Structure 1
Amino acid sequence: MNDTLSSVSLAKADVNPEIFAEEIGRSFEDWGFAIVSDHGISDELIGRAEQMSRAFFALSEETKRAYHIAGDGGARGYTPFGTEVAKDATLHDLKEFWHIGRELPAGHAFESFMSPNIWPAELPEFREVYTEMFAAFDKAGGRILEAIARYLKLSPDFFEETVQDGNSVMRLIHYPPVPEDSPAVRAAAHEDINTITLLIGAEEAGLELLDKQGNWRSVSPKSGELAVNIGDMLQRLTNNRLPSTTHRVVNPAPERRGHSRYSMPFFLHFRPDYLIETLPDCVDNSHPNLYPEPITAHDYLLERLREIGLA
């Protein structure tokens, strides 16, 4: 196992896909995380998306709350500060966020699984920017899944159908300044529900992962790099070979407590009807099947959303 979480270049996948697959796959198996550079999402687009996120969260509380859809589990639109709580945690996370999902054509088979997006009228360019950003995240995620398939000795296109029109969600997060006496943290220790998560590096530090020795380690992508981690669905599919690592966002040092933190994770999901059934090659005498009961991606998602207070 490598002692550090080093950066891997997605551009290498175009030159030698097998070497890239080995590098990123080993990082995922060791850490549940990888840092990815040269991922194809332009700095210009990232800059526009980050600027638009700041503009939205700067709107008045009354304006933002007008886009909160009660009973929708936060699937689309605005989720106010103090709503989400990590599984088994007792205090709410110190964040507010906005969700953007996949745009489906009318009459699509998955319409009943995915709510339509809503868009803030106060920011006319919001829809254009994040529709472009969603597509860029989706493309980068597909390339990383191809490398994971190669690492697992599957067909390189194995994941294409599993995530086609999947229930992926882009989340814009604002962590406001933290009071000195706050008993809560920006995001309590948790694992992600989905297949893989792609996160554009935040200006403010705070992201940490829990390594296999039980130590918290900082995850610090450089500007423009992605932090990518395995979610529970892929952990389940691979019988824990690729671990969904516990991570958190800790409060800043005293001198930075007056600063907001913004981040933009993309939660890439399997399609709702995909049956998550342990891969046969991930089961042997030393690794018995930990998940003998298959479950659809949609049912698993609902199960987990209830645990964190969003459904």
Structure 2
Amino acid sequence: MLDTPLAEVPLVSLSQADTDPDGFAQAFGDSFKRFGFAMIRDHGVPDDLIDRAWALTKAFFDLPEAEKRSYFIEGQGGARGYTPYKTEIAKGAEHVDLKEFWHIGREIPEGHRYSDVMPPNIWPDRPEGFRETFLEMFAAFDRTGDRLLSAIARYLDLAPDWFDPAVKDGNSIMRLLHYPPVSADAPEVRAGAHEDINLITLLLGAEEAGLELLDRDGQWLPVKPPEGAMVVNVGDMLQRLTNHVLPSTSHRVVNPAPERRGHSRYSMPFFLHPAPDFMLTALPQCVTEENPLRDPPISSHDYLMERLREIGLTK
């Protein structure tokens, strides 16, 4: 039934991980294996924090263009602060994406061993409460991400805490995304077809129609979570780690129906990365005669730099 044109990404409750961790791991992992995506309810990020974060996201993107651009840093690949509208482009795409965004990374102390590749955060002067809210939001995403990685470890017959050292001080990024209203003659997609770079992506804000994944049959499948649910997907780093057992699925954001073209779309992905020196080496249990080794080992930082060049954020 899962392979019919009516296939839908399953909705699973993270609360099940407390009462039946193996059952949750199986359901979550099966969805990842089938679609490269899952939808998660009861994800643990407080509703009031999410509401506050949305209000501040909208307030920031409503600021004057010149003020927003004052937080853009040339040559940093958009790692922190503001990236202007029509900057990023999907690998191999003809048109740039119709979006602007703000990046927040992990706060690490001065002199930390990763400080040469994980720059300090940039914080805007307004709106008020921006820094405090998004540091809290980053920590909440981090906690949920750890729980989801623990389930993936179980699914792969690893110890539940296997990912803990891999993601300790990981180079994760929280992105605040704004897709402005689109004109009738705009290209057909707000964000071109792409795969994510990281281990897993946790996404809030996909309730507004537009997110689609490329299914096995070559058809684009809408991903429509219920209000408040989180969409989670496999990134290329987890795909490499599992020798493509868990697929990093192409996805895109298409333009809205004509009646919604005058409306902005906002979303908030959290790109969960391992530490920069973590080696992306295929797990032995994922390399078999039927599934021979696909990719050579590479550090997560080197892989990140390779991919950022491909999408036009670095040269």
Fold conserved between structures, TM > 0.5: yes
What residue ranges of structure 1 are gaps of 5+ in the alignment?
none
What residue ranges of structure 2 are gaps of 5+ in the alignment?
none
CA–CA separation in structure 2 for the residues paired with 1:222 and 1:107: 43
SS in 1 for 2:271: strand
CA–CA separation in structure 2 for the residues paired with 1:286 and 1:128: 50
For 1:187-202, list aligned pairs within 5 A. 187-202=191-206
The alpha carbon displacement at 1:203 in A equals 4.4
The residue aligned with 1:165 is 169
- The TM-score normalised by the length of structure 2 is 0.97
The alpha carbon displacement at 1:261 in A equals 0.2
CA–CA separation in structure 2 for the residues paired with 1:234 and 1:285: 20
Q: Is the 8 A contact 1:94 1:184 kept in 2?
A: no
For 1:247-286, list aligned pairs within 5 A. 247-286=251-290
- Cα deviation, 1:170-192, whole Å, max 9, x if unaligned, reads 00000000000112520000000
Give the ranges of 4+ consecutive aligned residues of structure 1 lying more than 4 Å apart after TM superposition: none
For 1:140-159, list aligned pairs within 5 A. 140-159=144-163
Determine whether 1:304 maps to 2:314: no
CA–CA separation in structure 1 for the residues paired with 2:119 and 2:15: 35
SS in 2 for 1:70: coil
For 1:94-105, list aligned pairs within 5 A. 94-105=98-109
Determine whether 1:66 maps to 2:70: yes
Q: Is the alpha carbon distance of 1:203 and 1:29 closer, same or farther for their aligned partners in structure 2, counting shifts above 3 Å?
A: closer
- Cα deviation, 1:263-297, whole Å, max 9, x if unaligned, reads 00000001000011010000111010011x21000
Q: Which letter does structure 1 place at the counterpart of 2:55?
A: Q
The residue aligned with 1:4 is 8
Q: Is the 8 A contact 1:93 1:184 kept in 2?
A: no
CA–CA separation in structure 2 for the residues paired with 1:84 and 1:258: 22
The residue aligned with 1:130 is 134
SS in 2 for 1:158: coil
Determine whether 1:230 maps to 2:234: yes
- The TM-score normalised by the length of structure 1 is 0.98
Q: Which letter does structure 2 place at the counterpart of 1:259?
A: H
Q: Between Structure 1 and Structure 2, how many residues are aligned?
A: 310
Match of 1:41 among 40, 45, 52: 45
After superposing the two structures, state which structure 1 stretch, 162-171 or 184-193, moved more: 184-193
CA–CA separation in structure 1 for the residues paired with 2:196 and 2:210: 17
SS in 1 for 2:189: coil
RMSD over equivalenced CA pairs, Å: 0.9
